[in-house]
Structure 1
Amino acid sequence: MKEPIWLTRSMIEAIHIDQIKEHGGQFGIRDENLLEATLARPLHRWNYEPKSDLPILAAAYGFALAKNHSFVDGNKRVAFMAMYTFLGLNGYENVAPEPEIVNIMLGVASGSISEEELANWLHKHTIPWSTST
């Protein structure tokens, strides 16, 4: 697999702003260091775990964002949209139904869903972008 297109800090912050504008909540970063650690997590997997594929890397973003609470508000929403955006930048999309998305992200945030389980869920619900119209 070629190196993926990574999410940048400005992309994650833009996702946060969009989610707060659309769904409400308080703007702002709660912990700068945790946000930086979140951005480093998938890169670390890419460099040190050679079997990491796009759903595994997306799960690294989503799990860290949901668990680290880098933002004042909207962490679960940002976590899912970061995974969705990362997959999209790399030619894939998540096709899970919205109620399932809500349940999986609540599970991640509460600790009942592990990063590995999130990656497995993404494997089941991720497909290449359709090239036919």
Structure 2
Amino acid sequence: MASKTLLFLTAEQIQRLHLRYINKPLPIQLNMLESAIHSPIDMEHYTKEEDVFQLAANLAEKIMRNHAFQDGNKRTALVAADMFLKINGYYLQKVPFAEDKNDKELSNAHVAVVTNQWTAKQLGDYYKSIAVPLGPATTEVTEYIS
């Protein structure tokens, strides 16, 4: 049985997410953002990782740790991981940054990663535990399917 072809985000798409949801200046270190977006691609290619939740967590971790943006790296990592999951059939949040239980727990999970309390693997496991199948893609999601 052939595995599903995974879709990945580009640096330009993550910058659009950053502008839409974070509304802060664009990356100050574009090369660090490029490095972050290539990490899950390399992970899938070289280690044959096919778990979209682990790939999303890898993307989020790299965005947070590479610190490409002056402000909003953890929030950008969250919307990027969520959109990555959406273009691959799942979602973490119906509405990004809605004041609900998931938003606070996702924020805490991202803080746990950057403070070395959690690994990217644990973050991926957490994503998997709360993710919901997407259903029909919304207009916003189809904008990011390249």
TM range (shorter): 0.7 to 0.9
The offset of 1:130, in angstroms, is 3.7
TM-score by length of 2: 0.80
Corresponding residue for residue 16 of structure 1: 18
Aligned length: 127
Q: Deviations over 1:44-86 (max 9, x none)?
A: 1110122431101111111101111111110000000001001
Letter in structure 2 aligned against 1:38: A
CA contact (8 A) 2:11 2:37 kept: yes
CA contact (8 A) 1:34 1:68 kept: yes
Q: Distance in 2 between matches of 1:13 and 1:104?
A: 22
TM-score by length of 1: 0.87
Q: Distance in 1 between matches of 2:8 and 2:22?
A: 23
Range 9-18 or range 104-113, more displaced: 104-113
Change (3 A) 1:82 1:32: same
The offset of 1:114, in angstroms, is 1.0
CA contact (8 A) 1:30 1:70 kept: yes
CA contact (8 A) 1:5 1:86 kept: yes
Range 89-98 or range 31-40, more displaced: 89-98
CA contact (8 A) 1:67 1:108 kept: no
Corresponding residue for residue 5 of structure 1: 7
For structure 1, the residue ranges without an aligned partner over 5 or more in a row are: none
The offset of 1:32, in angstroms, is 2.1
Other structure's SS at 1:71 match: coil
For structure 2, the residue ranges without an aligned partner over 5 or more in a row are: 94-100, 137-146
Residue correspondence of structure 1 range 1-133 to structure 2 within 5 A: 1-21=3-23, 26-94=24-92, 97-130=102-135
Letter in structure 2 aligned against 1:9: A
Identity %: 28
Q: Distance in 1 between matches of 2:6 and 2:112?
A: 27
In the TM superposition, structure 1's runs of 4+ consecutive aligned residues that sit over 2 Å from their partners are none
Letter in structure 2 aligned against 1:82: A
The offset of 1:35, in angstroms, is 1.0
Q: Distance in 2 between matches of 1:2 and 1:27?
A: 35
